[in-house]
C-alpha cells in the first residue's frame, strides 16, 4: 500500500508565509504595534495605545542540550514565525527581527572566550573565565572578523536580501564594558580593581574601543533604512555587574568608558541598571540617559526602586521609563491600575507586569486581565486627553 509523503514547506516558503502573517497581524491590530507606542514615548508623549506587556514565568529548560544553530534561512523563517507570538498574550509586537548571536556573550567571544553552548541553562554564558594576564596577551580583536561578528554580518545581509524594508533589524546584545570584562575575567576582576588598576584600565579601554568599532560596523551594515529606531536598540548599555561594586569603583573604572560610548552614541544612552539603586542613581547623575529601567525586585542584590521612588529621581526630564514588577497574588489588577495612573506624573512610561504565580495554566486569566488593563488605560486616556 502506497503511503503519501508529507511534504514540508521550504524555508523560503515559510519565510514568505510568515512575512504575510506578520503584516496582516499589524494591519488588523494597530493598537498592538509596539513601534507606534515607542514613537510616542520617544517624542515625549503619552502613548496613544496601551504600553503594557505581560508575561508568564519562564519554564526551566527540559535538560536536553540545545540544538546547533539552524541554517540561516531556516533561522530567519523561524524568527519571523515567532514575531507575532506576543499577540496571544495581548502584548505589543514589532515589525522587527534580532540579528544577534551568543546573547550576552556576543562581544566576549571576540577576546577568545568560549560560550557554554552545550548547557541549556546558560548557553550564552562564558564557559571558563580567562586570567587577566591571558587577556592582556591576547591579540587585539578585529571588528570585522572577531568572535561571532562575521556570522552576524552574514545574517544581516541575508535578512536585507530576503525581506522588505518595512521589517527592521535589532542589534545584538552589546552589553557594556564592565559587564564584558566581568564575563571574561570572572571574579578575578574584583582583585584587579585593588591589585592591578592600571592593567584593568587598559583592558577596559580595549573593550570600549572594540565595542564602539563593532557597533559602528553593524549600524553601517544594516543601514539607516533598516536599523530599528528604538533608543533601546541603538544606544543601550547594560550595567548588571556594576551592582557588585561600589559607587566609587563605578566612577573610577566604569564611568570613563560609559562616557566614551555615550559620545559615540551622540550624547544619549538607554541604561539597563539591572534594578540596582546606586547604579540607577549614578547613571542618571553622570550620563545623558534617555531611557531607564526600574522596578520593584525583592531579591535584587543592590536593591531596587519602586514606582514612587523612581519617578522623583527622573527629575521631570522626558526620560522613557520601562517599569517592571512581579505583581502579588490577589492585588494584581489594583496594583497595575495604580501604576498606570502614574502617567499623570510622568508621561513616558511603559510597563512590564509578571507574577511568580503566573504560569501556563493561568494564561487565559492573565490575558483577560491584560484586556481589562488595556480598557482601563484607554478610558483614562479618553477622560483626560493625555492621562
CA distances from 76 to 20, 157, 233, 258 (A): 14, 12, 19, 33
Q: What is the pLDDT of residues 137-155, one digit of tens each?
A: 999 999 999 999 999 999 9
| pLDDT for the residue numbered 62 | 62
| Residue-by-residue DSSP string for 308-352 | HHHHHHTTT---EEEEEEEPPTT-HHHHHHHHHHGGGT-S-EEEE
Check if the beta carbon of residue 372 is closer than 8 Å to that of residue 336.
no
134 is written with which cell numbers? 591571558
Q: What is the pLDDT of residues 12-50, one digit of tens each?
A: 899 999 999 999 999 999 999 999 999 999 999 999 999
Average pLDDT of the chain, as a whole number: 93
Task: Judge whether residue 61 has pLDDT over 70.
Answer: no
Tell me if the pTM is above 0.85: yes
The CATH-assigned architecture of domain 70-187+195-229 is Alpha-Beta Barrel (3.20)
Q: What is the pLDDT of residues 2-21, one digit of tens each?
A: 555 555 678 889 999 999 99
Q: What angle do CA 275, 278, 281 make, to 5 degrees?
A: 90
Hey, CA dihedral for 87, 93, 98, 102, is it positive or negative? negative
Strand segments, DSSP code E, in 78-217 are 96-98, 168-170
Which one is predicted more confidently, 385 or 207? 207
219: nearest Cα among 229, 227, 209, 211: 227
DSSP state of 237: E
| pLDDT for the residue numbered 385 | 62
| pLDDT for the residue numbered 8 | 60
Check if the beta carbon of residue 14 is closer than 8 Å to that of residue 311.
no
User: CA-to-CA distance for 116 and 186, rounded, in angstroms?
Assistant: 14
259 is written with which cell numbers? 562616557
Q: Kindly give, in sequence order, each residue whose CB lies less than 8 Å from that of residue 250, ignoring residues fewer than 6 positions away.
A: 242, 278, 279, 282
Which one is predicted more confidently, 121 or 350? 350
Q: Strand, coil or helix: what is 243?
A: helix
Check if the beta carbon of residue 92 is closer than 8 Å to that of residue 34.
yes
* Average pLDDT over every residue of 293-310: 93
Burial of residue 149 (CB within 10 Å: 0-12, 13-18, 19+) is: buried
User: CA-to-CA distance for 114 and 19, rounded, in angstroms?
Assistant: 34
Check if the beta carbon of residue 69 is closer than 8 Å to that of residue 11.
no
Burial of residue 165 (CB within 10 Å: 0-12, 13-18, 19+) is: exposed
User: CA-to-CA distance for 254 and 260, rounded, in angstroms?
Assistant: 10
Q: Where are the domains of the chain?
A: 70-187+195-229, 233-326, 327-387
Task: Judge whether residue 66 has pLDDT over 70.
Answer: no
| pLDDT for the residue numbered 64 | 57
Strand segments, DSSP code E, in 222-288 are 236-238, 269-272
Q: What angle do CA 31, 34, 39 make, to 5 degrees?
A: 100
User: CA-to-CA distance for 346 and 344, rounded, in angstroms?
Assistant: 6
Confidence of residue 121 (pLDDT cuts 50, 70, 90): confident
What's the maximum distance between 2 C-alpha atoms anywhere in the chain? 78
Q: What is the pLDDT of residues 162-171, one digit of tens each?
A: 999 999 999 9
Confidence of residue 230 (pLDDT cuts 50, 70, 90): very high
Length of the chain: 387
User: CA-to-CA distance for 294 and 231, rounded, in angstroms?
Assistant: 16
Which one is predicted more confidently, 1 or 360? 360
Check if the beta carbon of residue 86 is closer than 8 Å to that of residue 93.
yes
Across the chain, how many H-helices and E-strands are there? Answer: 15, 8
Task: Judge whether residue 287 has pLDDT over 50.
Answer: yes
Confidence of residue 1 (pLDDT cuts 50, 70, 90): very low
| pLDDT for the residue numbered 317 | 86
What is the C-alpha end-to-end distance of the chain, expressed in Å? 69
Pairing state between β 236-238 and 168-170: unpaired
CA distances from 331 to 155, 325, 327 (A): 45, 13, 7
Amino acid at each position: 500500500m502506497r503511503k503519501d509523503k508529507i511534504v514540508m514547506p521550504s524555508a523560503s516558503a515559510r519565510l514568505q508565509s510568515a512575512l504575510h502573517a506578520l503584516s496582516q497581524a499589524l494591519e488588523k491590530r494597530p493598537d498592538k504595534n509596539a513601534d507606534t507606542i515607542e514613537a510616542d514615548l520617544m517624542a515625549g508623549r503619552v502613548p496613544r495605545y496601551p504600553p503594557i506587556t505581560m508575561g508568564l514565568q519562564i519554564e526551566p529548560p527540559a535538560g536536553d542540550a540545545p540544538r546547533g544553530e539552524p541554517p540561516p534561512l531556516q533561522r530567519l523563517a523561524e524568527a519571523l514565525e515567532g514575531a507575532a507570538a506576543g499577540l496571544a498574550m495581548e502584548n505589543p509586537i514589532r515589525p522587527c527581527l534580532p540579528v544577534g548571536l551568543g546573547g550576552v556573550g556576543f562581544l566576549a567571544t571576540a577576546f577568545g572566550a568560549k560560550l557554554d553552548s552545550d548547557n541549556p541553562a546558560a548557553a550564552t554564558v562564558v564557559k571558563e573565565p580567562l586570567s587577566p594576564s591571558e587577556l592582556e596577551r591576547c591579540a587585539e580583536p578585529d571588528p570585522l572578523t572577531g568572535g561571532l561578528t562575521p556570522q552576524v554580518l552574514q545574517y544581516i545581509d541575508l535578512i536585507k536580501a530576503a525581506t522588505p524594508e518595512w521589517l527592521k533589524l535589532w542589534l545584538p546584545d552589546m552589553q557594556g564594558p564592565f559587564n564584558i570584562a566581568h564575563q571574561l575575567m570572572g571574579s578575578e576582576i574584583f582583585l584587579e580593581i585593588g591589585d592591578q588598576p592600571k592593567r584593568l584600565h587598559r583592558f577596559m579601554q580595549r573593550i570600549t574601543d572594540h565595542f564602539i568599532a563593532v557597533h559602528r560596523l553593524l549600524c553601517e551594515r544594516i543601514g539607516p533604512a533598516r536599523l530599528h529606531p528604538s533608543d533601546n536598540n541603538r544606544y543601550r548599555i547594560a550595567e548588571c555587574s556594576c551592582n557588585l561594586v561600589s559607587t566609587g569603583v563605578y566612577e573610577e573604572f566604569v564611568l570613563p568608558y560609559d562616557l566614551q560610548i555615550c559620545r559615540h552614541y551622540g550624547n544619549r544612552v538607554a541604561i539597563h541598571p539591572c534594578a540596582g539603586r546606586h547604579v540607577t542613581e549614578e547613571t542618571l547623575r553622570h550620563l545623558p540617559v534617555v531611557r531607564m529601567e526600574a522596578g520593584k525586585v525583592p531579591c535584587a542584590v543592590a536593591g531596587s526602586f519602586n514606582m514612587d521612588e523612581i519617578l522623583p529621581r527622573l527629575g521631570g526630564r522626558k526620560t522613557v521609563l520601562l517599569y517592571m514588577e512581579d505583581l502579588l497574588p490577589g492585588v494584581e489588577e489594583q496594583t497595575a491600575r495604580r501604576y498606570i495612573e502614574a502617567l499623570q506624573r510622568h508621561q513616558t512610561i511603559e510597563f512590564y507586569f509578571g507574577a511568580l504565580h503566573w504560569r501556563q495554566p493561568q494564561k487565559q486569566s492573565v490575558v483577560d486581565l491584560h484586556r481589562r488593563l488595556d480598557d482601563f488605560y484607554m478610558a483614562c486616556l479618553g477622560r483626560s486627553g493625555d492621562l
